[in-house]
Chains A and B, each alone.
Chain A
Amino acid sequence: MAYKFDFGAIVPHWQLLFDGVILTTELTVIGAVVGVGLGIMGAWARASRAPVISQIVGVYVELIRNTPFLVQLFFIFFGLPALGVKLTEFQAAVLAMIVNLGAYSTEIIRAGILAIPQGQIEAAQSLAMNRVQIFRYVVILPALKKIWPALSSQIVIVMLGSSVCSQIAAEELTFGANYIQALNFRAFEVYFVVTGLYLVMSILLRMGLKVLGNFLFERRRHV
């Protein structure tokens, strides 16, 4: 075989990969927290019977779900400056992830809300709770519990999707890999290692989300 593997060629550049892992993690954590927050509000708007807001959110969801993430990212980074909105690579990447996850999680969380038995909502209404109180105390936690596995998967997808942010030179993990292999021409070794790093990060993220779910939905007495 002509090709001689040389994983040692990556070692001098480990700092780049390390920085990439850190940045990917930052993007994912911020994107997930704010994106799911956006999804909760979007789902509430969709599930409520406020027609105008519900339709606006519906358009947002369909727009995002039917266009590529890369185009959304380019639009934010290269397109928005035309409107005077100039973002750094990191800001653009984070915003794209928030907007993307916000749309997908809106639909996922909405399904969870719709699965809450109508009778529980009527019981809350007959206890004189208002809409906000019903959503906060009766609906949202059981709804999230029902769709937590689906939501977790979507967060992992968004984390992996963040590799695309290398295209605007956001210095996340894939950017680091591209950079290293351009220096040392060790494409196989570099991408092999990076694949492994993504795999480990996915597994850790899934585990983390599982632990978070257990914490959130654990039977915890409040009194």
Chain B
Amino acid sequence: MSLVELHAIHKSFGELEVLKGIDLSIDEGQVIALIGKSGSGKSTLLRTINGLEVIDDGVIIVDGKKISDRDADLLGLRLQVGMVFQQFNLFPHYTALENVMLSPQVVKKQSKAEAKQIAEEMLAKVGLADKMMHYPDQLSGGQQQRVAIARALAMKPKVLLCDEVTSALDPELVNEVLAVVRQLAEEGMTLVMVTHEMRFAREVCDKLVFMHQGRIHETGDPEEVFSNPKTPELSSFVGGLA
């Protein structure tokens, strides 16, 4: 059984049906890239996986457990599924270290010493051992995003969702964040990432999912899908990028 299974997921915002029946399974250690045009439903799909969007219909199974929208279930789900956002979303009144320590302390009830040790380890992993005492507004975008990744990792999630984690960054800061993601992928972290970095997707991901108008339009091995798109929509999407 896969780590995450989505069956026939439907989601509408008012009249607008954004997800029109999504089936997707994510295996442990798999790195999946979600691509597609703006508005095709990539973020919405990602957000259903950790319950930030409540689905109208369908089934989500994470680690063998079916997810309902009861609060207790959602909290349990989110312990397994971490998320990193386009806009970093660090807590401005805490240092980098405190940002990373917060949830292990208050959610997992770890001791301060324990949480601190893990936080230091995670910040070192993303290359920020020397910035731990900085506040978010004292860090560059790339550094903030790496803190956000460390913060998600400190909860030891089984899956990490990344929604365009480099899209808000100046071009020269993109690579330092991608390098961290690449390292996670190499270490065997299960990743689902919405991305516009096609070269990165091609090099790092095991599976490519192309979304179009609320459906998974085409999926497969990135190398193959890119060099040999089967649908006109994907070939025009890929062509438009080149």
Partner-binding segment picked from B12-20, B77-85, B210-218: B77-85
Is there a chain B Cβ closer than 8 Å to A50's Cβ? no
Is there a chain A Cβ closer than 8 Å to B103's Cβ? yes
Partner-binding segment picked from A53-61, A63-71, A119-127, A157-165: A119-127
Q: Is chain B's interface secondary structure helix, strand, loop, or mixed overall?
A: mixed
Q: Please tell me the number of chain B residues within 8 Å of chain A, measured between CB atoms.
A: 33
Note all chain A residues with C-beta closer than 8 A to B97. Answer: 223
Is there a chain A Cβ closer than 8 Å to B92's Cβ? yes
Given contacts A127-B103, A130-B75, contact A219 B135 (CB under 8 A): yes
Whether A127 contacts B98 by the Cβ 8 Å rule is no
Interface residues of B in 115-163 (CB under 8 A from A): 116, 133, 135, 148, 151-152, 155
A221→B135 CA distance, assembly (Å): 10
A65→B181 CA distance, assembly (Å): 53
Q: Is chain A's interface secondary structure helix, strand, loop, or mixed overall?
A: helix
User: How many Å from the CB of B191 to the closest CB on chain A?
Assistant: 15
Interface residues of B in 44-81 (CB under 8 A from A): 50, 52, 71, 75, 78-79, 81
Note all chain B residues with C-beta closer than 8 A to A119. Answer: 85, 87, 89
A189→B35 CA distance, assembly (Å): 79
Is there a chain A Cβ closer than 8 Å to B8's Cβ? no
Is there a chain B Cβ closer than 8 Å to A142's Cβ? yes
User: How many Å from the CB of A172 to the closest CB on chain B?
Assistant: 37
- Partner-A contacts on B (CB < 8 A): 50, 52, 71, 75, 78-79, 81-83, 85, 87, 89-95, 97-98, 101-103, 106-107, 112, 116, 133, 135, 148, 151-152, 155
